[in-house]
Amino acid sequence: MTSSPLTGAPPRAPGRRLLPADPLLRRLVLMSLVNSVGDGLFVTVNVLFFTRSIGLTPASVALGLTVAGICGVFSGVPMGRLADRVGTKRLLLVVVGPLEAVAVLGYAFVHSFVAFVALACVATALSRGAAAVRSALIARALPAEGQVRARALLRSVMNAGLVVGSGGAAIALQADSHAGYVTMLVLDAVSFLGVTVLLAGLPLAGNAGAVDAGAGRAPGRRRTALRDRRYLLVTALHAVLELQLAVLTVGLPLWIVLETEAPPAMVAGVNVVNCLLVVFFQVRASRGVTDVPSAARACAQGAVLLAGWCLIYAAAQYGPAWAATGALLVGALVHSVGELLTSAGGWTLSLDLADPRAHGEYQGVFMSGQAAAHVIGPLVVTLTAVDHGAVGWVVLAGVFALAGPALLPAARGSLSRAAVRVG
């Protein structure tokens, strides 16, 4: 019997387990599942809770969440640096997890716009910072050869958890009561505490524990992410590819309802197709991504598919309902494959181009790039596809088609520079 490529544990027997046999990866999977179920509960009901229970207007909610998103962009780097100093597990266990639970419960006591914005900023900063710290934890806990596949598995589990959470939140939506919404907040807070309990038992033994504890004492000159221009370039280019999320969640629903003959239910249909493909095929899509060159190629190929996805959606405007529906389903398939490839490539680029002695800071920079894309994404999509129709979709396609291939030379340059500095 051979051992696991992650931590040396025996491999999982096919068809006999739903969870990995490796104890470290199994614990990470459970953490991801619990966290994402809580996220699904909260994300599904939060806007209605803010408007119907707190009494905020939709415009004020949008403004508050935008301000909070900007705060989240700037939280990754300081949180990552703190993790490099005190340890990723310790920071998540003692500080971040409990504070996230307190923050989400705090929404139940908000009764004004100012209090809402302040709490949303704190909650979002914690959430974005926690994402960077968790990424650094995985980078230090798992051997390099198993990280991309492990992250793919975790992303699949995360999407499955979001589906479960969203389904559970449908009960609160149907009841449409203050008590129902607050119950979702409480369950989300419980999920944060559950992740903290699971984290406490995370078996960071042997090399994994040593790496986390001694990351700052490795020989050689330590690099600084904010001064690593090549890494910043790779981060920025990959952040452009992250605009696909805003296209999916903001641009596409408006496009389907306002500009095509497809039934409005296709908004949900496209999202279901995307989510299911991520759940079932993210691990498979990551198999060919083993190093920086293959990761850059995956991003470039995925970007071309994202560009084609935009053109397919643009074409959905022309034709009867059945043709528009078919185009949207084909577009959802193309988009999902592109997203799978760019995600797998992005994980490897963010890890392999980073200084292993400063994984927290580097992951903070990379996650901040993604957060920035998520903040400005709705505006970009609105100014292109929503406001200018087919022409706007073509512009978006061009943006993806240029950013993805540009990662090839950028990643090569960053890898060469990192090798010189470490050497």
**DSSP for 150-188, written as a single string:** HHHHHHHHHHHHHHHHHHHHHHHHHHT-HHHHHHHHHHH
3-state secondary structure of 14: coil
pLDDT (0 to 100) of residue 206: 40
- Phi and psi at residue 199, to the nearest 5°: -65, -35
Write the Ramachandran bin of 245: left for phi over 0, alpha for psi from -120 to 50, otherwise beta: alpha
Q: Do 41 and 93 touch, CB atoms closer than 8 A? A: no
Arch. (CATH architecture) of 225-422: Up-down Bundle (1.20)
pLDDT (0 to 100) of residue 222: 64
Contact partners, residue 258, CB within 8 Å, separation at least 6: none
Q: How many CB atoms lie within 10 A of CB 258?
A: 10
Query: Residue ranges of the alpha helices (H) in 286-386?
Result: 292-315, 321-352, 359-381
Instruction: Tell me the per-residue pLDDT of 85-108, one tens digit each, with 9 for 90 and over.
Output: 998 999 998 999 999 999 999 999
pLDDT (0 to 100) of residue 240: 96
pLDDT (0 to 100) of residue 386: 87
For residue 365, which of 250, 231, 175 has the smallest C-alpha distance?
231
pLDDT (0 to 100) of residue 416: 52
Regions of the chain where pLDDT drops below 50: 1-16, 205-211, 213-219, 419-423
pLDDT (0 to 100) of residue 17: 54
Q: Do 142 and 22 touch, CB atoms closer than 8 A? A: no
Separation of alpha carbons 333 and 236, rounded Å: 26
**In terms of C-beta density within 10 A (0-12 exposed, 13-18 middle, 19 or more buried), how is residue 358 classed?**
buried
DSSP class of 349: H
Quote the tokens at residue 416.
């060469």
pLDDT (0 to 100) of residue 182: 94
Residue with tokens 């100012």: 114
Separation of alpha carbons 166 and 314, rounded Å: 29
Q: Which stretch of DSSP H or E encloses residue 81?
A: helix 76-86
Q: Do 34 and 187 touch, CB atoms closer than 8 A? A: no
Separation of alpha carbons 126 and 119, rounded Å: 11
Write the Ramachandran bin of 2: left for phi over 0, alpha for psi from -120 to 50, otherwise beta: beta
Q: Do 153 and 25 touch, CB atoms closer than 8 A? A: yes
pLDDT (0 to 100) of residue 220: 52
The pTM of this model reads 0.81
Domain boundaries 23-217, corresponding CATH code:
1.20.1250.20
**In terms of C-beta density within 10 A (0-12 exposed, 13-18 middle, 19 or more buried), how is residue 368 classed?**
buried
For the chain, residues classed under CATH 1.20.1250.20 are 23-217, 225-422
CA distances from 241 to 97, 380, 407 (A): 29, 12, 11
Instruction: Tell me the per-residue pLDDT of 257-289, one tens digit each, with 9 for 90 and over.
Output: 888 999 988 888 888 888 889 888 988 888 888
